[in-house]
Structures are given as structure tokens and as C-alpha cells.
Amino acid sequence: MSLLKSKIFNILFLSTTLLLSACFGGGSSIPDDHYYRLPEPVGEKLPNPILNGTLSIKKIITHGIYGERSLIYTDKNNNIKLNRYHYHHWEKSPSTLIQDNLVQYLKTIGIAHQVIAYNQNTNPDYLLEAELITLHRDMSSNGIIANISIDIRIYNKSNNSIYINKRYHSKLLAKSDKLIDTIQAYSDGLHNIYDELISDLQSENFRATN
């Protein structure tokens, strides 16, 4: 390498080093990524299945920013604007996380003789479809709220009747401003939604014993 090229290389290297140091605060490291999953759902087994046969649960429908793995929040001064954390993510997409969580919960309590994740090659007796409307932290003056809204529909495939077609809501106050406490509030909120769904199915209008 010629002397001129060597000097140019050294100048470029030094400039790049100084630029990177300026960008990252003169030696401060880039924040670590953090990943979150929902706790395993816990529920009491029903005395008898509500649905006779197999219940298949489709992947949860999501739209826009709610389909991404980043955790979403509102600003304290503007609950219309949605923001996302850059270094805090769900382990999987909310669509898959909630589907897995719901399958496990309904299987645990024995809502049907068999509960499975949807597979186009199967022919279930009942089909559950859900659409996620809201899943974000509301940062308010009263604390941090885990806000969930989800539309749930359950079809009887044998006669194409609809047993459930309802929007479920949950707004629970997190114990602290730590994200892990918001995740727990999300889990508790989903559990409340599941319990309301079970209660609806157990009511006379939705009883599905053949």
C-alpha cells in the first residue's frame, strides 16, 4: 500500500470511529432487546365438555401495527397516538401467542372433547375465529392499563350456526410501570375474556349439547 493510500485509509478509519462514538454516546452500548411471552394459562376443568366433538381454533386475525412483535403503548398526553417500543418485543406475533394461549386454556378446562389449532386438513365439529382489535398499554395519569379488545366467533360446522359472535374487552391496571407487570395484566385480562366466553357458552342461548 502506498504512503498516500495508507494516510487516506487511516483518516477514513479515524473519521468512522469518531462518528460511531458520537452516535452511541461516546462509548455507551446499544440497549439490549427484550422478549416477552404470555404465562401458561391456568383454569379449572369443567365437569363436562360444553361442546361435543372437536373444536378447532384458527390463528388470530390482526391488522396493522397489532400484527407486529413490538409492544404498543399510548402517550400519557395523547391516547390517540400509538407508539411502539424499539427494544421490547413479543416472543412471537400476538396472532400466534394468543392462539397458542387460547388453545392451551380451552384444552386445560376441557371445553370440548378435543381442542386443536386449526389445520385445513382437519374437519372439526366447531370452529373458533377471533380478530384482535386492541392490544396496547394505555399510559394514563391513573396508572398503566393493559387494554385488550377481541372479537370472537364460534361456528357449529354441522349446521353452520353461530354460537358466539361478540366483542370482548378487558382493561386491567398493571401493578407497576414495569413492562413485565403489563404482560401479567395482559395475561389476566385474556383469562377474564376466556371466562366470559365460557360463561356465554354455558348460558341457555349458547348451550351446544347434541
**58: region left, alpha or beta (phi > 0 left; psi from -120 to 50 alpha):** beta
Contacts of 184 by beta carbon, 8 Å cutoff, 6+ apart: 39, 174, 175
Residues 135 and 148 occupy one common structural domain: yes
Residue 74 has pLDDT above 80, yes or no: yes
Burial class (CB in 10 A: 0-12, 13-18, 19+), 33: exposed
Both 9 and 75 in one domain: the answer is no
Residue 180 cell numbers, joined: 413485565
Q: What is the pLDDT of residue 115?
A: 96
- % the chain with pLDDT above 70: 83
Query: Are both 17 and 111 inside the same structural domain?
Result: no
Average pLDDT over residues 23-31: 59
Q: Are residues 83 and 171 in the same domain?
A: yes
4 and 54 co-located in one domain: no
Q: Dmax over Cα atoms in the chain, in whole Å?
A: 89
Check residues 140 and 152 and name the one with the higher pLDDT: 152
- Return the axis-axis angle of helices 179-202 and 94-109, rounded to nearest 10°: 50
Q: How confident is the model at residue 28 (pLDDT cuts 50, 70, 90)?
A: low
Which residues pair with residue 139 across a beta bridge?
144
Supply the pTM of this predicted model.
0.82
Mean pLDDT of the chain: 86
CATH number of the domain bearing residue 161: 3.40.50.10610
- List pLDDT tens digits, range 81-101: 999 999 999 999 999 999 999
**Do 9 and 100 sit in the same domain of this protein?**
no
18 and 109 together in one domain: no
Same domain, 51 and 150: yes
- Co-location of 165 and 62 in the same domain: yes
Looking at residue 204, its pLDDT comes to 54
d(CA 155, CA 161): 6
CA 207/CA 156 separation, integer angstroms: 11
Q: What confidence score (pLDDT) does residue 26 get?
A: 47
pLDDT tier at 210, thresholds 50, 70, 90: very low
How many CB atoms are closer than 10 A to CB 66? 19
pLDDT of amino acid 8: 44
Rounded Cα distance between 144 and 140, Å, is: 6
> Based on the structure, what is the number of domains in the chain?
2
43 and 17 assigned to the same domain: no
Same domain, 117 and 196: yes
State pLDDT tens for residues 156-193. 998 888 999 999 999 999 999 999 999 999 999 999 99
pLDDT of residue 29: 75
Q: Which domain holds residue 10?
A: 1-30
Residues 21 and 40 in one domain: no
pLDDT of residue 14: 43
